[in-house]
């Protein structure tokens, strides 16, 4: 057996969803909406299954979807992409990430990563033979600093695996942080692989800035997106990779032997969905922002301290001021087993020196679900109320 995978535990998302089912808990752990997703996009998929092409589509993705991705990113992010040479469709962002690592590094190459990190990153880097160099971000601000980057980059740095908007912190990195990172990449010659699956889920009037639009990065950056996140249908597993033709040639060789293609019916539906009116995307964002505000206000009213969230489906709670004597994992266990609310301990996103006082909740839920969770959390908050609300 391969040593990277043989000893890995089951992902924290799977574990917490299982505990939520066992304890009849409100599941604010694993990140998925409880809304079924836009009906017209689902209808387009159904129509394509019944009346469309169900054999292998082109390896790079259907022309309709590649053109739709190019139009979508030109419109929303001002990026000019050639749909015939710079866009590839994958089976979710996860395949895109795996393929990028397999295609772009050699064993022994150093890869800069930022923790807390999405749990798939580290095993994928290690399996590709990469040597991880971890930049540690810490609450409450999770800022990217020049000192931390200077420590992580070495003459052997070949690739940087970045995530913006960031899961699990809910951070949307600022222009000066992105510029700093791009500067390190340009100076070291590293390729910047940017997981931008949360690009549409940004709040308070923010606009997503892709690494592809940063000066000097067009030829050395790989942008990864996911229809699962854009349309709130996380099971769909349709991803997009955008990169300059030279990088794309290598990326496509990895893709051809990982999955080769992605179901054509879903590609057609996503192509349709990406062309929806601006108002749909704005309403989706506004709805999620209202849910964020509802959960944030509810937690704060209970005296449970929250950290600010600028994007994604997630909001974090700092448990340190509660002085429970529990770390995040024990706290999440108590929440799900005794109080019937599932959350994710953020220490699970660290490979080294974990932060142990932050707990992540998913707010992409109906009001009734959030309210049910809040009424259960009231019992958790009660004994600690004196601490934050004297
Ligand atoms: N990257 C990040 C940062 C994510 O949060 C997720 C899913 N939550 C993924 C990748 C996986 O995306 P997909 O389901 O398209 O593989
Ligand atoms: N990305 C989702 C989250 O962060 C979970 C994905 C998964 O279950 N692998 O909650």
Which residue is it, tokens 């049910």? 372
Cβ atoms of 215 and 182 within 8 Å: the answer is yes
- Phi then psi for residue 145, to 5 deg, are -115, 155
Which pLDDT value is given to residue 242? 98
- Which protein residue has the closest C-alpha to ligand 2 atom 8? 13
The verdict on whether omega for the bond into residue 140 sits within 30 degrees of 0, i.e. cis, is yes
pLDDT along the chain (390 residues), means of 10: 91 92 96 96 98 97 98 98 98 98 98 96 97 97 97 98 98 98 98 98 98 97 98 98 98 98 98 98 98 98 96 97 94 95 97 96 98 94 58
Nearest atom within ligand 2 for CA of residue 362? 10
Which pLDDT value is given to residue 7? 87
Ligand nearest to the CA of 14: 2
d(CA 177, CA 142): 11
Half-sphere exposure of 384 (CA within 13 A, CB side): 22
Class of the domain covering 39-275: alpha beta
Which pLDDT value is given to residue 385? 57
CATH number, domain 3-30+279-382? 3.90.1150.10
The Cα-based distances of 388 to 109, 253, 322, 325, 377 in angstroms read: 47, 55, 7, 16, 15
Which pLDDT value is given to residue 219? 97
Residue from 93, 223, 314, 346 to probe ligand 1 pocket by mutation (most atoms less than 8 Å from CB): 93
Which pLDDT value is given to residue 384? 64
d(CA 31, CA 167): 10
Cβ atoms of 103 and 95 within 8 Å: the answer is no
The Cα-based distances of 243 to 69, 71, 81, 172, 220 in angstroms read: 13, 15, 8, 22, 8
Rounded distance from Cα 229 to ligand 1 centre (Å): 8
* CA atoms 375, 377, 380, 384: torsion sign: negative
Rounded distance from Cα 176 to ligand 1 centre (Å): 25
Which residue is it, tokens 């958790």? 380
- Domain spans, the chain: 3-30+279-382, 39-275
- Which protein residue has the closest C-alpha to ligand 2 atom 2? 31
Cβ atoms of 87 and 66 within 8 Å: the answer is yes
Q: Do 3-30+279-382 and 39-275 have matching folds?
A: no
């Amino acid at each position: 057996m391969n040593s990277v995978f043989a000893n890995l535990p089951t992902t924290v998302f799977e574990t917490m969803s299982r505990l939520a089912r066992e304890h009849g808990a409100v599941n604010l752990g694993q990140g998925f909406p409880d809304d079924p997703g836009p009906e017209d996009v689902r209808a387009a998929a159904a129509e394509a299954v019944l009346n469309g092409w169900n054999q292998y589509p082109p390896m790079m993705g259907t022309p309709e979807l590649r053109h739709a991705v190019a139009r979508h990113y030109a419109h929303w992010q001002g990026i000019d992409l050639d749909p015939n040479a710079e866009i590839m469709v994958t089976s979710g962002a996860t395949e895109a990430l795996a393929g990028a690592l397999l295609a772009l590094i050699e064993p022994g190459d150093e890869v800069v990563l930022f923790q807390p990190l999405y749990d798939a990153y580290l095993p994928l880097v290690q399996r590709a033979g990469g040597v991880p160099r971890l930049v540690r971000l810490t609450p409450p601000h999770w800022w990217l600093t020049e000192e931390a980057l200077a420590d992580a980059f070495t003459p052997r740095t070949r690739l940087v695996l970045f995530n913006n908007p960031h899961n699990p912190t809910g951070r949307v990195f600022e222009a000066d942080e992105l510029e700093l990172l791009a500067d390190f990449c340009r100076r070291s010659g590293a390729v910047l692989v940017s997981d931008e699956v949360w690009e549409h889920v940004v709040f308070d009037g923010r606009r997503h800035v892709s690494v592809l639009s940063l000066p000097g990065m067009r030829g050395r950056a790989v942008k990864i997106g996911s229809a699962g996140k854009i349309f709130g249908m996380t099971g769909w597993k349709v991803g997009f990779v955008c990169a300059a033709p030279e990088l794309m040639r290598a990326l496509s060789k990895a893709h051809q032997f990982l999955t080769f293609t992605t179901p054509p019916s879903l590609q057609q539906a996503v192509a349709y969905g990406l062309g929806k009116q601006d108002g749909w995307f704005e309403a989706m964002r506004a709805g999620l922002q209202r849910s964020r505000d509802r959960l944030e206000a509810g937690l704060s009213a209970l005296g449970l301290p929250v950290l600010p969230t600028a994007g994604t489906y997630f909001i974090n709670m700092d448990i340190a001021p509660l002085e429970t004597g529990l770390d995040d994992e024990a706290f999440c266990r108590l929440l799900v087993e005794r109080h019937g609310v599932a959350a994710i301990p953020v220490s699970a996103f660290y490979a080294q020196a974990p932060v142990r006082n932050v707990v992540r909740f998913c707010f992409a839920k109906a009001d009734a679900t959030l309210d049910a969770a809040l009424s259960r959390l009231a019992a958790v908050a009660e004994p600690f109320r004196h601490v934050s609300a004297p």
